[in-house]
Amino acid sequence: MYWFRDGNPLQLLPWLGITLVWLIGGWLIARHAFNMERRERLIVGAGLGLCSYLWFANLLGHWLPPMATFSLAGFMVLVIGVAFALRGERPILDWRDFKVWSLLLVGLLLIYIFAQIGKGLGLFDDHKNLSIISTMATGDIPPHFYMNPDFYFSYHYGFQLLGASLMRLGGFFPWSAFDFSKALVGAWSVLLAYLLGVRYLKSEFGGAILAVVLTLATGTRYLLLLLPPALLIEASSKISLAQTSSKLGAPFFLALTKKWAVDGGPPIPFVFGFLNGIMPPHFLTIQAGPPALAILILLLVWLLASRGNRTYSFVIFVILFSFWALAFESSYALFFTGGVLIAVYYLWKRCGTYIMRGEYYALLLSIPFAIFQGGSITEILRKQILGYEKPVPPAMKSVVEGFSFAGFSLRWPPAIISAHLSPLRIDSPLEVLVALFEIGPIILFTPWITIWAWRRFKEGNLINGVLILSSWIGFLVPIVLSYRSERDITRLSAYALVIWMIFFVFLIWEYSGYWSKFLKVAGVTSLSLMVFGGIVIAGISLTAATQPIISSGITRLDAMIASDVWDTLPYNDLVFDPEKWRATTVTGRFTRAGAGIRKTLPEWEQLRADPSIEGFLEYDFSYIYIDEEWWNELGIEKREALSDPCIQIISEHWDSDRDKFRRLISLNGCILQ
C-alpha cells in the first residue's frame, strides 16, 4: 500500500505516455531552439520538458479539469518543440544524442537511491506537501489552503504539480507521488550540474567534481568541536537553539554532539554538529522538494544562457523564469534583481546604446505571469491590493496575514541567520566566529570568487555578472533585514552559497598565477571539509532506506481508505479529521480546521472535544474521519452520537489485531435540527 492506489503498476502507463510526449518536446526545444552540445541535448531537453510541462499544467489547471490539464500540458510542450523543429536543422531528431546512455543510467541509479531514501523519511512538511498534491490532483489549481478552503495557499507549489500529475495520471498515492517527484528532480539536478562542470572545465572529471560538490557540500559546524571547550561554553551564553533544534534541550556547546531525533527522521538520528541551518547539503534538501527544483531551474538557465539560436528562443526563457517564480520565488527574485542591476550597469557604461538580449525580454515578460499565475507572489499581491475573496474571521485574521504578507523589517544589530540558531550578531566576535563555521570556509574566499566572476562577466559572460550580483544580494539581505519566519529567510543565504560554491570549483580548476599553488591547496582543502559534512549526512540518510514509512502521521490503514475513496466524495464537501490535515491527503477533499499552519480554529477544537451531529452540520462538515485514538478518548455518549442511524459508513478498515482502525462516515443522511 505504498506506490499505487489500486496496487496495479499498469496504472503508471498514462503518465509514462504523457511523460514521453513532453520529453520529446523538450528534446526538440533543446536541439532546435538552442546551440547545445550533443552530450547536453537529451539531459537539458528533459529538464526543459519537465519545467515547461508543469508550467503549462498550472496555467491550464485554472480552467480545465485535472485529467485534461495534466494531459494537454504535455502536448503543448510537444507543439512548441515541433514549432522550433520545423524551422531548425535536419534531421529533426538526432539519435546520436543517446550516446549519453551512461549518463542516463547514472540518472536512473540516482532516482532509485533518492526514492529509497525518500520512502524512509518524513521530515519536510509532509502535512503541507501531501495535502496540496492530493487536492491539486483533484483539480484545485491554484491550491487553496489545505486546512481551510476559504483562502488560497500562499506557497511555491510548482514542484507539487509533478506529484499531482503522478496521482491523476499514474495512480500514485500522495506520498509515493511526493517521494518519486523528489527523486526525479533531484537526480536530474545532479546530472545538470555535471553537464555545467563539463562545459566550463572542459573535463568529464571536472563535471563529476562539480556534481559531487553541489550534492554534498554544506557548512562546517562540526569543526567547532575542535575549539577550546571554554570558548564554546562562553559562546553558548550568547547563542541559543531555535526552531526544532530547541527540542534538544541542551546548551549550544553540548548540543553539537547530541542526536537530532525528530519524527520522520532516519533510524540513526542526525548529529546536530553535522547539520546546517544555512545551506544543508543538496543530498538532504532533495527530500524537501522545492529547493531541488529551484537548483534545477538555475542550472538550466545557466546552461542555456547565450545559447539561443532562433528569434523566438526567448519564449523558452519566459517559461523558465515564470515557472521559477512559481517554484521558488526567493531565488527567482534574487536572479531577477541581479539581472536588472546588470542591465542598469550596461546602460550606464554604454550610454544607453546597449541592446537588450532575449533573456532580458524574457525576464521582463515573466513579471505578469509571476503576478497572476498563482503561488506566493500572486497571493501576496492579492492580499495587499485586492484583498481576500471572503471576509476573514477574527480568529484567523492575524494568522492569515502572517502567511501572505512579505513580513520584512530592519534588523538591528545586523546578524547572520541560521535556521537552527538564534541570530548571530556581527557586533559579537564569538557569534561571528560561530557564524563563520556555520557558513563554512568558502566565506573566506568570496573576494577572490567575486573578482574572478566579475572579470568573466566583463569578458562577455553575462550570466556570471547576474549570478555574482544576485548572490551578494542574497547573502546581505538576511543580515540587515529580518523576516517573520527566520527559517525561510535563510533561503536567500543558501542561494548565495550555492552560486559561490559553483564559481569556486571553476576558479580552483582554472586559476593560474603566483599564488595559484597555495590557493588551490587551500581551496581544495576547504571544499573537502564542506563535502565531508555532507558525506556524513548522506550516510545517515541512507539508513532511512531500511525503514519504509508511508509518512509521518499516515499509516497503512489510511492508505486503504485512500484506495477506497480518494476523489470520490462530492467536490465541495468538507471532511472533519481530529488530526486536521490527514483526511485532506487521504480523500482529496478539504477540511476547515486551521487558523494557520500551526493554529487551529476554536470551532474545530470544540468539535474535537465535544462532537455532535448538529455541531458538524452547523459548521458544514459532511464527513468525519475517525481513528482509534480519538474514538477511545470519547465517552460512551459521544460515541453513541457518532453511531446514529442517519450516519453511513463509507469506508472502514481494521488492523489484524483489531485494536486500530480508520473509519470514514457520511452525515449527508442527517438533518440539522
pLDDT digits (tens, 9 = 90+) for 548-564: 888 878 899 999 999 99
DSSP 382: I
The residue among 618, 606, 615, 670 whose CA lies nearest residue 644 is: 670
What is the rounded distance in angstroms from the CA atom of residue 600 to the CA atom of residue 593?
6
Query: Between vectors from CA 264 to CA 187 and to CA 583, what angle results, nearest 5°?
Result: 100
Sequence-ordered list of residues with C-beta below 8 angstroms from that of 584, at least 6 positions apart, any chain: 131, 134, 135, 146, 147, 575, 577, 590, 591
Residue owning grid cell 472502514: 652
What is the rounded distance in angstroms from the CA atom of residue 170 to the CA atom of residue 18?
10
pLDDT single digits (tens) 370-415 = 999 988 888 888 776 765 444 444 333 333 333 334 567 788 889 9
Say what angle helices 290-304 and 486-510 make with each other, to 10 degrees: 40
What is the rounded distance in angstroms from the CA atom of residue 19 to the CA atom of residue 51?
12
Task: Please report which residue ranges of 8-100 form alpha helices under DSSP H.
Answer: 13-32, 38-61, 66-86
- Domain range annotation of the chain: 9-181, 568-666
In degrees rounded to 5, what are phi and psi of residue 224?
-60, -25
pLDDT single digits (tens) 556-586 = 999 999 999 999 999 999 999 998 889 999 9
- pLDDT of 389 reads 43
Q: Give rounded-to-5 percent helix, strand, coil for the chain.
A: 65, 10, 30
- pLDDT of 622 reads 93
Grade residue 513 by pLDDT with cuts at 50, 70 and 90: low
What is the rounded distance in angstroms from the CA atom of residue 455 to the CA atom of residue 450?
9
Q: Give the C-alpha distances (Å, rounded to integers) separating 600 from 139, 159, 211, 590, 661.
A: 25, 27, 43, 14, 25
CB burial string 557-591: b at 16+ within 10 A, e below: bbbbbbbebbbebeeebbbbbbbbbbbbbbbbbbb
Coil/strand/helix, residue 447:
helix
Say what angle helices 204-216 and 516-542 make with each other, to 10 degrees: 60
Residue type at position 55: W
The total of other beta-carbon atoms located within 10 Å of residue 427's CB is 10
- Please report, in angstroms and rounded to a whole number, the separation of the first and last CA atoms in the chain: 41
The residue among 318, 328, 288 whose CA lies nearest residue 155 is: 328
- pLDDT of 673 reads 62
Q: What is the mean pLDDT of residues 58-70?
A: 96
CB burial string 338-351: b at 16+ within 10 A, e below: bbbebbeebeeeee
Contact 279, 218 (CB under 8 A): yes
The answer to whether the Cα torsion of 218, 287, 416, 384 is positive or negative is: positive
Coil/strand/helix, residue 307:
coil
pLDDT single digits (tens) 82-127 = 999 988 777 888 888 888 899 999 999 999 999 999 998 887 778 8
Q: What is the DSSP string of 122-171?
A: --S-HHHHHHHHHHHHTT-SSPEETTEEEEE--S--TTHHHHHHHHHHH-
The total of other beta-carbon atoms located within 10 Å of residue 87's CB is 11
Q: What is the mean pLDDT of the chain?
A: 88
- pLDDT of 91 reads 80
The total of other beta-carbon atoms located within 10 Å of residue 77's CB is 29
Residue owning grid cell 554532539: 257
What is the rounded distance in angstroms from the CA atom of residue 221 to the CA atom of residue 523?
18
The residue among 50, 16, 8, 13 whose CA lies nearest residue 30 is: 50
Q: What is the DSSP string of 496-564?
A: HHHHHHHHHHHHHHH--STTHHHHHHHHHHHHHHHHHHHHHHHHHHHGGGGS--SBTTB-HHHHHHHHH
What is the rounded distance in angstroms from the CA atom of residue 41 to the CA atom of residue 497?
28
Q: Give the C-alpha distances (Å, rounded to integers) separating 165 from 171, 223, 372, 478.
A: 9, 43, 22, 35
Grade residue 360 by pLDDT with cuts at 50, 70 and 90: confident
- pLDDT of 344 reads 85
